[in-house]
Amino acid sequence: MNVLFVVSGNSDNFPIAPFIQSQGLALTNLGVNIEYFRIQGKGLLGYLGNVPKLRSFIKSKNFNIIHAHYVLSGWVSVLTLCRLPIICSFMGSDTYGDTNSQGKRKLSSYNIIVLAKFIQPFLNKIIVKSNTIYRYIWLKNKAEIIPNGVNISAFMEIDKKKCRELLGMNMNCRHILFFGDQNNPRKNFFLAKNSYNKLGLSMVEILNPYPVEPSEVPLYMNAGDVVVLSSYLEGSPNVIKEAMACNIPIVSTDVGDVRWVIGDTEGCYISSYDAEDMAKKIKLALKFANRTNGRQRILDLGLDSETIAKRIIELYEKILTKEKSSNTLA
């Protein structure tokens, strides 16, 4: 099976988003041939300029299916007018928009919300990452809830002291980790920092290792004492599943599928948007001072990358079987 991943190539930090590359690798390991088309150019007009390039790329290859990641990549794929079946993964912000620093939806977000609505009839299938995103889909018969998987070979328990030595971190402090872009209002770093300031604890640091090489993320996870996510909106945050796979305590706002992912795992807590409440939950996580049983929860939910890849392959096969049947009848 030859699958074309259509992805954004506009990141200043990574040629391809690490979680998309991780998904591609998991599919490759199961025998799927994955190729990438990286869209260059930002904004709607920048994306549309890639339509003829993508059309030529598709014609020069022998693909069975196109899998676009994010709504704008989906539109570029649809507008090529190719005859291949198209799947689009809706990630979250491309479906419900973005927020300002007060958590209110930006007016500009309604452009992407409308585009996410109107593309649905032109897609063979839609992958959404959580039930939160599923609620925004109006053609629900086309949607499948398939979260991003976590590479449990990379994200696992590693000795804390060893990780801190490798990263040059303070061996005597406890570390709160915030992995989001603190300049992105939707990630709400202000809440995490304000909660940290209210802790009143000595020898505790808050670290923001962003951007960071994907190979170093498991080291930071295991070097830390608690992972904090304070976002206003998320689809299915990868950092939570990765922290769970490393058995690291978590404090998170109730966004995306976080509540479902952590379940009743001891050492993991859901916080409100009140800094006092988040500070209280961070103290509980620090007091927990143990590894959680999050990894087992990830395995029980089937959120490891191999299991997720198998589900995606089943979806590909279902679409291709339906296409073959339709062509035969025609």
Q: Which residue has the higher pLDDT, 121 or 110?
A: 121
Instruction: Kindly tell me if the per-residue pLDDT of 188 is higher than 70.
Output: yes
Q: What is the pLDDT of residue 45?
A: 87
First to last CA, the chain: 23
The residues, ordered by sequence, that sit 6+ positions from 278 with a Cβ below 8 Å of its Cβ are: 191, 192, 195, 228, 230, 251, 253, 271, 272
Query: What whole-number percentage of the chain has pLDDT above 70?
Result: 98
The secondary structure of 93-123 as a DSSP string is: HHHH--B-TTSPBPTTHHHHHHHHHHTGGG-
Q: What is the pLDDT of residue 328?
A: 63
Q: Which residue has the higher pLDDT, 94 or 253?
A: 253
16-43 per-position pLDDT tens digit? 999 999 999 999 999 999 999 999 988 8
Instruction: Kindly tell me if the per-residue pLDDT of 14 is higher than 90.
Output: no
Q: What is the pLDDT of residue 315?
A: 98
State whether residue 5 is helix, strand or coil. strand
Q: What is the pLDDT of residue 289?
A: 73
Instruction: Kindly tell me if the per-residue pLDDT of 109 is higher than 70.
Output: yes
Identify the band that residue 323 occupies on the pLDDT scale cut at 50, 70 and 90: confident
**Mean pLDDT value across residues 207-223:** 94
Find tokens 């897609």 and name the residue. Answer: 123
Answer whether 0.85 is exceeded by the pTM.
Answer: yes
Identify the band that residue 326 occupies on the pLDDT scale cut at 50, 70 and 90: low
**Mean pLDDT value across residues 281-306:** 95
| Residue 67 to residues 90, 94, 149, 208, Cα–Cα distance (Å) | 11, 16, 16, 32
Query: What whole-number percentage of the chain has pLDDT above 90?
Result: 87
Identify the band that residue 13 occupies on the pLDDT scale cut at 50, 70 and 90: confident
**Mean pLDDT value across residues 259-267:** 97
Instruction: Kindly tell me if the per-residue pLDDT of 330 is higher than 60.
Output: no
**Mean pLDDT value across residues 207-215:** 92
Q: Report d(CA 185, CA 267) in Å as an integer.
A: 27
**Mean pLDDT value across residues 209-215:** 91
Q: Report d(CA 120, CA 87) in Å as an integer.
A: 10
| Residue 330 to residues 63, 156, 269, 323, 324, Cα–Cα distance (Å) | 21, 51, 55, 11, 10
- Phi and psi of 198, rounded to 5°? -90, -5
**Mean pLDDT value across residues 309-313:** 98
Q: What is the pLDDT of residue 15?
A: 85
Q: Report d(CA 179, CA 189) in Å as an integer.
A: 10
Q: What is the pLDDT of residue 329?
A: 58
Instruction: Kindly tell me if the per-residue pLDDT of 292 is higher than 70.
Output: yes
Q: Which DSSP state fits 215?
A: G
132-180 per-position pLDDT tens digit? 999 999 999 999 999 999 999 999 999 999 999 999 999 999 999 999 9
State whether residue 271 is helix, strand or coil. strand
Average pLDDT, the chain: 94
Identify the band that residue 263 occupies on the pLDDT scale cut at 50, 70 and 90: very high
Q: Nearest to residue 311, comparing CAs of 122, 93, 69, 30?
A: 30
Q: Which DSSP state fits 148?
A: P
Identify the band that residue 322 occupies on the pLDDT scale cut at 50, 70 and 90: confident
**Mean pLDDT value across residues 242-270:** 97
Q: What is the pLDDT of residue 61?
A: 93
Q: List beta partners, residue 227.
A: 177, 250
CB 303 within 8 A of CB 149: yes
Q: What is the pLDDT of residue 327?
A: 67
State whether residue 205 is helix, strand or coil. strand
